[in-house]
Amino acid sequence: MNRKGLAILMRTRMRLTDPNKLSVSPNEASRVQSDTGHSESDENFVRVASEGYVQKINSPSNSERDFNVVRESMHAAISMNKTEVMDAILNNFSEGYHSLSHDNRRKLLIALARDYDVNRKQVRELIQQYLGLEFPGGDKSQPTTFDEGGLLAALYRTERNLRHALKPMYQILFERLNTHPGGLKFLSILRADILSMLAEENIASLRALDSYLKEKLVTWLSPATLELHRITWDDPASLLEKIVAYEAVHPINSLIDLKRRLGIGRRCFGYLHPSIPGEPLIFIEVALLKNVAQNIQEVLWDHPPIPESEATCALFYSISSTQSGLVGINLGKFLIKRVIELVKKDMPHVSTFATLSPIRGYMKWLLFKLGSQSKLAEAEKEGISCSLERSSSSTFRENILQPEEEKALLESSVEFTSGENGMEMMLNLLTSKNYEWTKSDRLLSVLQAPLMRLCARYLIQEKKRGKALDSVANFHLQNGAVIERINWMADRSEKGLSQSGGIMVNYIYRLDKIEENAQSYFATGSIQASSDLRRYLQPEKEHEEKTT
Amino acid sequence: MNRKGLAILMRTRMRLTDPNKLSVSPNEASRVQSDTGHSESDENFVRVASEGYVQKINSPSNSERDFNVVRESMHAAISMNKTEVMDAILNNFSEGYHSLSHDNRRKLLIALARDYDVNRKQVRELIQQYLGLEFPGGDKSQPTTFDEGGLLAALYRTERNLRHALKPMYQILFERLNTHPGGLKFLSILRADILSMLAEENIASLRALDSYLKEKLVTWLSPATLELHRITWDDPASLLEKIVAYEAVHPINSLIDLKRRLGIGRRCFGYLHPSIPGEPLIFIEVALLKNVAQNIQEVLWDHPPIPESEATCALFYSISSTQSGLVGINLGKFLIKRVIELVKKDMPHVSTFATLSPIRGYMKWLLFKLGSQSKLAEAEKEGISCSLERSSSSTFRENILQPEEEKALLESSVEFTSGENGMEMMLNLLTSKNYEWTKSDRLLSVLQAPLMRLCARYLIQEKKRGKALDSVANFHLQNGAVIERINWMADRSEKGLSQSGGIMVNYIYRLDKIEENAQSYFATGSIQASSDLRRYLQPEKEHEEKTT
């Protein structure tokens, strides 16, 4: 079951890249399996997951017959009332579901969304009844005398009935699964599948089902139900296995590596739900340091640089969620707050709580900008007017480089690459294979200024629907953090370079400000950033001193 | 807190007799305090509760100022969004509430019901929007093409909004309290107060609030969240104290008595909820016997009559719920099923699962019947026609005694009492002080036939809204039990005689029938009774052999 649970989940994750980017992305998940050839024990350690994984994806059923069997059990799970057999029915259903192919699952979920939807006929009737009663419109303060009348009673009754009628029939299935052993986990798997299907195709009924299921999960996974657990080397392997499998930020390469993550100078905390035992829904890794780390090497040491008693900073260097089906349910918020409180209580000498975080979307955003803008620049040169009709705002003509930056680039880069303008040159440099640019001190120093400045702009100014465009930034900002500092060449790993040109960012959590910051970000989308960071956004002159 | 919690609860119970009659009724609660003068330890044992109790009811605030303060905190608890201070706000509110007088609580709860009600203005607007969309009426199977359209998306969106708008504002308070330490307990106290107020006066808005709160409690207290705990002498006194305080059926008189209830030959199980630690919501006492006990003496022995290994019957002799605020939320159903499974697993040699239960409403019903019918009989004699206009059905002319019964009564009772007819005579006998009738073998033998027969009728035929009139019968029938046997002079205690003329009843749980019986009782109100019991309802002849 455990083995299978994980296996299924991994299959799900294979199909689905977690939108909030806090969980394993496909390539990371596969790396977990490939990287671990170092020792016997490692292999055994991970094989559980990978075996299960293989075993599962070999046998999904595409047959019409199997589909109908599972559909039957789903119907029973919704319509039956015999509590004595309900457990068996729900087990049948989830077992059956797991055995289905992606297409059959899709068919089944759409059937669930459509055939067990809201009873619109009944809703309409109740609405007519409701409108039939002349009641005190929006007025709340009804005189007592009013209460005595049966009219108000009828009003309340009709409202209750309408409230019930508006519940889709599939809520019965959700409720029953929630109180069924293993059901909550199964629901999160269902939702992971739904999300992946919605990513392929937008189906209104399925989207409605998802939003309803999400609402339910939010209440069922309220912080009150989550238990904060300090994960140590003494925890069962079945739990540690999941830390290895789901570590999203800095993959764990070996058992020794894992042991270090749980050893002296470090902490690992996870949120567990009583209904999903032995599997943290989200976990956070903390390093105890003297100062806020500027690069990942300061964190991924083999031996603690200082005794814990000398630590003044707790650095969150990795947060991973294990359930792709819980996307959009912010478990991290309370986790971080509670971890801070726990650490403070445990080690009063720790006063700074910060992160060293990746900037996952930076390069993607920058390369797109450089590409489109350099094209626009050329087009303009050739006298082709750039009409405002052009699609996205990013295509308005704009030299995203400062004059000095462009000048420096053109001067120093000719021997490395060609390009009609600074932006095209920068694009070519950044996309040169094996990240050649990182191997030349000259190029590094030339690129540092624009890369750091544009990174600050990306983090502070680039938004999507009023929230930070960068998903990790959005995560920490909504939890009340401040963008404190960006660090040059903080992560030279292939992943670090491809995601953010090696830049990493420190978010800082100030206990007395967390709530306030979270509120104002939530309300107005205003992003809290340090003055150091803001300086990047001011005219060239000032920030020269800063970055060089 | 614990001390206070219990104190508050006891105050609540003092005001409220639990409608489902499964918890301590006022006089029983007070008896718990008065009866326990036997040993030092006893007194200490109960003083906790009583002291708290006294201390609390001396200081309820009736002042307008205090009311407004609490109302403010209630408003904050609903309208605030700062999670960091929410705990403090909720604590303020519950502390404040507890300090209020009954009148102020009443004012506050009505304010909650009215001022934080459904936003009807919004509901009306959304209904208009909804009706504005022409959607596929009751038809569920929309063609895929339909899904793509934004129309359906709008439909789902409007339904979701309407669903939300129909939630009263006070649900925020309930949700927040539920996830707040001690909040669930506080909610059950709130509801206990609401029920007591509704018993005094029917206020539509308050009734709506109660039904909404009840719905919530039902989901929050789902069997999945309840932990079945075997209560033993090793449990903390703070928990055992509650067993003493809430034992509803056979009051516990001393520590020694309590120790026996938990010792060899007996079992005690309770349902605990993680949010209400150390306080079973409901508990059940079991005696391990050779046969189904016919009277309470067979159960309340001081020393086990047989070794547990020889037991073949598990007799449920007491079920008590501790939370008057959870009335109408059937916790007992799953408790009994799970206890049966547990006992079976633990002791395969136990094959019979039965109860020895009181018949709380029998005498009340019988004395009313005898009174009204004897009057009617007299009226008729005097030639006053008894019009059908007469209010309740119980006032239709009916001699509830069989000819032989009446004859025997008239013959043997003259020396004890007078009366125009058998019914009046029976009434006089049964209401004679100190239950004189139980001290004469002659009267006992004369009264046995009618009392047993009418008891069977009361249990099997007398109904209220299609359910058994007797609340305990209703409880066991809805849990799938069968009425097996009624036992003459099974409980000669003052309480036993006043409630049921000393008669007790055995309900039997047959594992393979529980679900079926519960279903048919729920659906059709059909009551399962043994052939022995049904025989009482057949013509005199046959049952003569039976009862004598």
CATH number at residue B416: 3.40.630.150
Q: What is the pLDDT of residues B88-117, one digit of tens each?
A: 899 999 999 999 999 999 999 999 999 999
Question: Using the beta-carbon criterion (under 8 Å), do A204 and B124 form an inter-chain contact?
Answer: no
Residue pair B501/B359 in contact (Cβ under 8 Å)? The answer is: no
Spatial CB neighbours of A78, under 8 Å, sequence gap ≥ 6: A116, A169, A170, A172, A173
Predicted confidence at residue A463, as pLDDT, reads: 94
Residues 6 or more apart from B117 whose CB is under 8 A from it?
A140, B168, B169, B170, B205, B208
Question: Within a 10 A sphere around the Cβ of B346, how many other Cβ atoms?
Answer: 12
Which residues does chain B have within 8 Å of residue A115's beta carbon, measured at their own beta carbons? 140-141
- Best interface-test mutation with B: which of A75, A80, A83 has the largest number of B CBs within 10 A? A83
Chain-centroid distance, C-alpha B271: 15
Q: Is any Cβ of chain A less than 8 angstroms from the Cβ of B136?
A: yes
Do A235 and A324 belong together in one domain?
Answer: yes
Residue A142 maps to a domain: no
- Look at residue A200 and tell me whether its pLDDT is greater than 70: yes
Least confident of A34-43, A356-365, A402-411, B504-513: A34-43
DSSP-assigned letter for residue B528: P
Domain boundary among A221, A252, A286: A221
Check residues B195 and A391 and name the one with the higher pLDDT: B195
Q: Tokens 């030299």 label which residue?
A: A399
**Domain's final residue, options A324, A357, A390:** A357
Asked whether A4 and A97 are in contact (CB, 8 A), the reply is no
Instruction: Give the DSSP H or E segment for B288.
Output: strand B282-289
Contact A183, A277 (CB under 8 A): no
Inter-chain residue contact A160 with B211, CB threshold 8 Å: yes
A131 in B contact zone (CB under 8 Å): yes
Residues of chain A found within 8 Å of residue B175, distances taken between Cβ atoms = 219
Under the banding of pLDDT at 50, 70 and 90, the label for residue B84 is low
DSSP output for B172-231: HHHHHHHTSTTHHHHHHHHHHHHHHHHHH---HHHHHHHHHHHHHHHHHT-GGG-EEEE-
The answer to whether the Cβ–Cβ distance between A159 and B166 falls below 8 Å is yes
> Taking CB atoms and an 8 Å limit, are B222 and A166 in contact across chains?
no
Nearest-CA distance from B229 to chain A in Å?
A: 17
Give the bridge partners for A103, in sequence order. none
Section A490-517 average pLDDT: 93
Partners of B227 in beta bridges? B272
Question: Which tens digits make up the pLDDT trace of A218-235?
Answer: 988 887 788 899 999 999
- Give the pairing type, strands B227-230 and B266-272: antiparallel
Judge if A213 and A272 occupy the same domain: no
The encoded tokens of residue A353 equal 């709580």
Distance CA B365, CA B17 (A): 18
Residues A208 and A234 in one domain: no
Give me the sign of the Cα torsion angle A339, A345, A350, A351. positive
Kindly name the residue from A250, A273, A476, A543 that is annotated as catalytic: A476
Q: How far is A122 from B350, CA to CA, in rounded Å?
A: 50
CA distance B409 to B401: 10
pLDDT score, position B248 = 72
Q: With an 8 Å Cβ cutoff, are A166 and B167 in contact?
A: no
- Residues of B in Cβ contact (< 8 Å) with A208: 156, 159-160
- Phi, psi (deg, nearest 5) at residue A255: -60, -40
pLDDT at residue B47 tops 60: no
Number of domains in chain B: 3
- The answer, yes or no, to whether residue B44 has pLDDT greater than 50, is no
Given A188, A318, A357, A500, which residue is catalytic?
A357
A175 with B115: Cβ contact below 8 A: no
Asked if residue A437 belongs to a domain, the reply is yes
Q: What is the pLDDT of residue A512?
A: 87
Quick count: other Cβ atoms within 10 Å of Cβ A526?
13
H or E stretch including B120? Answer: helix B120-132
Rg (CA), chain B: 27
CB B25 within 8 A of CB B17: yes
pLDDT category, A486, cuts 50, 70, 90?
very high
| B379 touches A at CB < 8 Å | no
- Of the candidates A488, A497, A484, A248, the one whose C-alpha atom is nearest the C-alpha of residue A366 is A497
Mutation target to probe the A interface, by most A beta carbons within 10 A, among B112, B131, B140 is: B140
Residue A406 and residue A386 in contact, taking contact as beta carbons nearer than 8 Å: no
Average pLDDT estimate for B330-345: 86
C-alpha span between A534 and A543 (Å, rounded):
9
Q: Do A207 and B156 touch (CB under 8 A)?
A: yes
pLDDT at A385: 52
What token pair was written down for B312?
């073949």
**Minimum distance, in Å, between the CA of residue A225 and any CA atom of chain B:** 8
User: Which residue in chain A is spatially nearest to B224 when comparing CA positions?
Assistant: A179
Least confident stretch, A494-498, B26-30, B427-431: B26-30
A106 at interface of B, judged by CB pairs closer than 8 A: no
Q: Does B166 touch chain A (CB under 8 A)?
A: yes
CA B242 remoteness from chain centre: 17
Co-location of B433 and B511 in the same domain: yes
User: Domain for residue A128, yes or no?
Assistant: no
pLDDT at position A135 is: 56
Q: Answer whether A173's CB lies under 8 Å from A77's CB.
A: yes
Is residue B175 domain-shared with residue B214, that is, in the same domain?
yes
Res B122 pLDDT > 90? yes
Q: Are A315 and A299 in contact (CB under 8 A)?
A: yes
pLDDT tens readout for residues B380-408:
777 655 444 444 444 577 888 999 999 98
Q: Do residues B339 and B269 touch, judged by C-beta distance below 8 A?
A: yes
Q: What is the pLDDT of residues A282-337, one digit of tens each?
A: 999 999 999 999 999 899 888 888 999 999 999 999 998 888 899 888 787 778 88
The answer to the question of residue B367 being in a domain is yes
Q: How far apart are CA A57 and CA B259, in angstroms?
A: 58
pLDDT category, B361, cuts 50, 70, 90? very high
The pLDDT value recorded for residue B149 is 63
Looking at per-residue confidence, does A5 or B495 come out higher? B495
pLDDT at B211 > cutoff 70:
yes
Residue A413 pLDDT: 75
Confidence of residue A367 (pLDDT cuts 50, 70, 90): very high
pLDDT score of A104: 94
Are residues A185 and A234 both part of a single domain? no
- Write out pLDDT tens, residues A241-279: 888 888 877 778 777 888 888 989 999 999 999 889 889
Q: What's the one-letter identity of residue B402?
A: Q
**Sheet containing A266-272, strands listed edge to edge, beginning at the edge strand earlier in sequence:** A227-230, A266-272, A282-289, A313-321, A352-355, A504-509, A482-487
What is the H or E stretch that residue B72 is in? helix B64-79
Nearest to A458 by CA among A529, A515, A397: A529
Instruction: Answer yes or no: do B367 and B515 share one domain.
Output: yes
Q: Which of residues 201-260 of A touch B (CB under 8 A)?
A: 202-208, 211-212, 219, 222-225
Q: What is the pLDDT of residues A461-484, one digit of tens each?
A: 999 989 999 999 999 998 899 999
Task: Measure in Å the smallest separation between the Cα of B434 and chain A Cα atoms.
Answer: 44
A-chain CB neighbours of B212 within 8 Å are 160
Which residues of A are less than 8 Å from B120 in CB distance?
135-139
Both tokens of B82, joined, read: 């700062």
The CATH number of whichever domain residue A185 belongs to comes to: 1.20.140.90
Residue B462 is part of which domain span?
361-380+399-536
Chain A CB contacts of B340 under 8 Å are none
Q: Which of B107, B118, B133, B175 to mutate to test the interface with A (most CBs of A within 10 A)?
A: B118
Q: Are residue B98 and residue B214 in the same domain, yes or no?
A: yes
* Cβ separation A205–B147 shorter than 8 A: yes
Band of pLDDT at residue A384, cut at 50, 70 and 90: low
Q: Show which of A221, A244, A260 is a domain's final residue.
A: A221
Residues 412-441 of A with CB under 8 A from B: none
DSSP A199-242: HH---HHHHHHHHHHHHHHHHHT-GGG-EEEE--TTS-HHHHHH
User: Average pLDDT in the B170-192 region?
Assistant: 93
Entry field: residues in chain B:
548
Residues on chain B touching A112 (C-beta within 8 angstroms): none
Q: What is the per-residue pLDDT for A271?
A: 92
Cα–Cα nearest to A207, from B155, B547, B334, B239? B155
What value does the mean pLDDT of chain B take?
A: 81
Average of per-residue pLDDT across B280-308: 92
- What mean pLDDT is predicted for residues A395-400? 76
Query: Could you tell me if B374 and B326 lie in one domain?
Result: no
Strand partners, A283: A270, A320
pLDDT, greater one: B377 or B45: B377
Query: How many whole angstroms separate alpha carbon B90 and alpha carbon B516?
Result: 44
Q: How many CB atoms lie within 10 A of CB A427?
A: 21
Both tokens of residue A16?
A: 């689905």
Q: Could you give the dihedral angle defined by the CA atoms of residues A243, A249, A251 and A256, in that order, rounded to the nearest 10 degrees? A: -60
Q: Are residues B293 and B232 in the same domain?
A: yes
Q: What tokens does B188 get?
A: 């059950």
Chain B within 8 Å of A136 (Cβ-Cβ)?
yes
Whether A200 is covered by a domain: the verdict is yes
In a domain, A13, yes or no: no
**What residue has token string 């069977």?**
B456
Active site residues of B: 357, 476
Is the pTM here over 0.80, yes or no?
Answer: no
Distance CA B21, CA B40 (A): 31
> Is B544's pLDDT higher than 80?
no
Q: DSSP assignment of B445-458, as one string?
A: HHHHHHHHHHHHHH
| % of chain B surpassing 70 pLDDT | 82
Per-residue pLDDT of A86-129, as tens digits, reads: 888 999 999 999 999 999 999 999 999 999 999 999 999 999 99
Q: What is the pLDDT of residue B162?
A: 96
Q: Which residues of A touch B222 (CB under 8 A)?
A: 179
State mean pLDDT over B315-321. 91
Chain B nearest C-alpha distance from A147 (Å)? 5
Kindly report the nearest CA distance between residue A158 and chain B, in angstroms: 11
Number of A to B CB contacts under 8 A, please give it: 133
Residue B179's pLDDT is what?
85
In a domain, A475, yes or no: yes
Answer whether residue A542 is part of any domain: no
Tokens 């035992």, residue located: A277
Residue B548, beta-bridge partner list: none
Query: Does residue A368 share a domain with residue A506?
Result: yes
pLDDT in tens, A59-91: 788 888 889 999 999 998 998 876 667 888 999
A33-55 average pLDDT score:
30
Contact between B140 and A114 using a beta-carbon 8 Å cutoff: yes
Judgement on whether residues B306 and B443 belong to the same structural domain of the protein: no
Residues A173-201, mean pLDDT to the nearest whole number: 94
Cβ distance A204 to B136 less than 8 Å, yes or no, reads no
**pLDDT value of position A543:** 45
Write out the two tokens for B46: 């109960």
Tokens (6 digits) for A302: 């083999």
